[in-house]
């Protein structure tokens, strides 16, 4: 089945495969601090203790490029077609688990190349999605693979128009997109979303404390803005934007850090031990 391709917003929901041993887990946010003076390449004018925080807030001026990868007929959606999405932005704030902004005074987010002070945190990611079905007028996608990386750079130099400065720092946090699903909805004046759950997180243990980050969940809000943020952009992550076949959108977003998951059985065992100890104390009292 084919579906005519028009200007569409994206709502993609991605989940991650885990071992059946950990099928039942108790999710929890990672809560900790970051010492950017301990990051590779730091020169000493960065924030030495940011936190406790649980979330990175990305700029509302980020961008996402969607390109056909392997399609049956350009301009239409057909079951089996694959598309690649490329996203890049920068961190504006650290946020605690209650939604409050955490101070990071040296975080430089103005993109001034060679400013000589502070540091920047940039994010670059990609994922592949395949059309698995056409439900009415809505193409349904399966997420095949992908990755997301966070970079630390002591010289703020990101530039969307020149497509540079996003991956030239030290990679301090990374994760893989391994599976998931999504669908496209007709674009309206409002915004649509991409939600990615990033599993298998690796991080710089010199920067993050405690060393318990296991995964992350990214929520990206998309909207068309051809005469604003995306107006002068010709490529994203080294991938050239083709207005005829590609879709380019302004992207706001954030990244929730998650702690090492604990199997539910462990919590049940723990509660059982506590109950046993309390009962024993009552019997001996």
**DSSP string of the chain, one letter each residue:** -EEE--SEEEEEE------GGGSSEE--B--EEE-GGGSTT--S-S-S-EEEE-EEEEEEEEEEEEEEEE-SSTTEEETT-EEEEEEEEEEEEEE-TTSPEEP-TTB--S--TT--SSBEEEEEEEEEEEEEEEETTEEEEEEEEEEEEEEEESS---BTTTTBSSSSSEEEEEEEE---EEEEEE--SS-EEEEEEEEEEEE-TTTEESS-EEEEEEEEEEE--TTTTTTT--EETTEE--TTT-EEEEEEEEEEEEEPPEEHHHHHHHHHHHHHHHHHHHHH-
- The predicted pLDDT at position 89 comes to 96
- The predicted pLDDT at position 104 comes to 94
- The predicted pLDDT at position 115 comes to 55
Instruction: Give the pLDDT band of residue 29 (cuts 50, 70, 90).
Output: very high
- The pLDDT tens digits for 95-113 are 999 999 999 999 975 554 4
Instruction: Give the pLDDT band of residue 258 (cuts 50, 70, 90).
Output: very high
- The predicted pLDDT at position 280 comes to 42
Mean local confidence (pLDDT), 59-72: 94
pLDDT at 260 over 50: yes
**Better-predicted residue by pLDDT, 5 or 96:** 96
- The pLDDT tens digits for 200-253 are 789 999 999 999 999 888 888 878 787 888 999 999 999 999 999 998 989 998
- The pLDDT tens digits for 147-196 are 999 999 998 889 999 999 999 999 999 998 777 677 776 554 334 456 66
- The predicted pLDDT at position 186 comes to 54
- State pTM to two decimals: 0.80
- The predicted pLDDT at position 201 comes to 80
């Amino acid at each position: 089945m084919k579906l005519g391709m028009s200007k569409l917003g994206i709502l993609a929901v991605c989940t991650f495969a885990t071992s059946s041993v950990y099928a039942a887990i108790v999710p929890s946010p990672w809560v900790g601090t970051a010492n950017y003076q301990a990051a590779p390449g730091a020169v000493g004018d960065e924030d030495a203790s940011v936190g406790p925080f649980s979330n990175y807030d990305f700029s509302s001026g980020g961008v996402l490029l969607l390109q056909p990868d392997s399609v049956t007929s350009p301009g239409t959606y057909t079951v089996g077609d694959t598309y690649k999405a490329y996203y890049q932005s920068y961190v504006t704030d650290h946020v605690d688990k209650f939604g409050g902004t955490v101070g990071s005074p040296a975080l430089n987010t103005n993109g001034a190349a060679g400013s000589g002070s502070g540091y920047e945190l940039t994010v670059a990611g990609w994922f592949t999605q395949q059309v698995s079905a056409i439900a009415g007028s809505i193409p349904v996608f399966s997420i095949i693979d992908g990755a997301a990386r966070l970079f630390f750079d002591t010289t703020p130099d990101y530039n969307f128009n020149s497509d540079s400065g996003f991956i030239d720092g030290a990679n301090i946090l990374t994760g893989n997109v391994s599976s998931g699903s999504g669908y496209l909805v007709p674009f309206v004046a409002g915004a649509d979303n991409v939600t990615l759950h990033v599993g298998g997180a690796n991080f710089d243990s010199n920067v993050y404390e405690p060393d318990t980050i296991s995964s992350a969940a990214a929520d990206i809000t998309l909207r068309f803005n051809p005469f604003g943020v995306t107006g002068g952009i010709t490529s994203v992550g080294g991938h050239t934007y083709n207005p005829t076949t590609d879709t380019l959108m302004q992207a706001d977003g954030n990244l929730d850090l998650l702690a090492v998951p604990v199997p539910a059985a462990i919590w049940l065992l723990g509660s059982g031990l506590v109950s046993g100890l309390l009962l024993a104390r009552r019997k001996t009292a």
